[in-house]
Amino acid sequence: MADFDVLHFGYNSGLWGGPTVKNIAVALKNQIETHLTDREIVLVAHSMGGLVCMRYILDLLQQERDFRITGLILFGTPTTGTELVQIAELLGVALSFKIPGVGRLLGWWLRKNKQLQQLAAHSDVLQELHDEWILRVANGGDPSLSARGRGFLSVRMVTGNDDWVVKEHSAKGIYGQIDWHPLFLRGGSPACRPTFTRRHAICARRSFSSATSSASAW
């Protein structure tokens, strides 16, 4: 990766949740505009960070701003959500009959954690993101839109076969075999993380970077 300059971006996400995908995307925009002026950019993200990057890209296109994104690589991003949120909600209902206090506490925590609510399968946030992505980005976007309101970029969806948090169909999204890079791992993994399987992740990034060799920043 010697040909790329790297900017790291993080956000709060913990037991009690954190900012919404939309608000984090605004923070990402501010960081890029501050530190990566006049650069072509490849975004690399994991899990909810991938949704943040997608939201950031869509916001640029909606506002018809300068579009310098040439590539997007997502590791284990739940594009259609994760069923674990619904499972936790059902667990809370079941516990409310056996241990009422614990069940109510779990239900209250799930409702308070806005990030988890947005990651729930088929949430309104994910449905809106999905529909706008098809409209503005997939296959170069809808030709009826203005040229600045849609964009074409190289995309690579990386999934893990043992990822029990984000299932393959969710991490793969609308993309087919050409844009999909499955990782077949041993021993199980709670999530497909770039740092968890460093050797596999580096190979995925290298093969992808050949398609975006004109970019100068990750």
Strands (E), 65-213: 69-75, 154-160, 180-183
Distance of alpha carbon 210 from alpha carbon 163, whole angstroms: 27
Give the position of tokens 């869509």: 58
14-62 per-position pLDDT tens digit: 766 789 999 999 999 999 999 988 889 999 999 899 999 999 999 999 9
71-128 per-position pLDDT tens digit: 999 998 999 888 776 656 555 555 555 666 666 666 666 677 788 888 888 889 999 9
Give the position of tokens 């290298």: 206
Distance of alpha carbon 130 from alpha carbon 134, whole angstroms: 6
Distance of alpha carbon 69 from alpha carbon 109, whole angstroms: 37
Q: pTM above the 0.75 mark?
A: yes
Length of the chain counted residue by residue: 218
Distance of alpha carbon 35 from alpha carbon 6, whole angstroms: 10
By percentage, how much of the chain surpasses pLDDT 90? 42
Of 87, 165, 77, 65, nearest to 129 by C-alpha is 77
Supply 135's token pair. 């409209």
Q: How confident is the model at residue 205 (pLDDT cuts 50, 70, 90)?
A: low
Q: Which domains, ranges and CATH numbers included, belong to the chain?
A: 21-81+125-212 (3.40.50.1820), 84-120 (no CATH)
List own/partner pairs for 94-99 with CB under 8 A and 24 or more apart. Answer: none
- Identify the pLDDT of residue 3: 73
**Cα distances (Å, whole numbers) of residue 24 to 19, 30, 121, 139, 203:** 6, 10, 20, 26, 28
64-75 per-position pLDDT tens digit: 999 999 999 999
Give Dmax over CA atoms of the chain in angstroms: 59
Distance of alpha carbon 58 from alpha carbon 79, whole angstroms: 14
List own/partner pairs for 97-101 with CB under 8 A and 24 or more apart. Answer: none
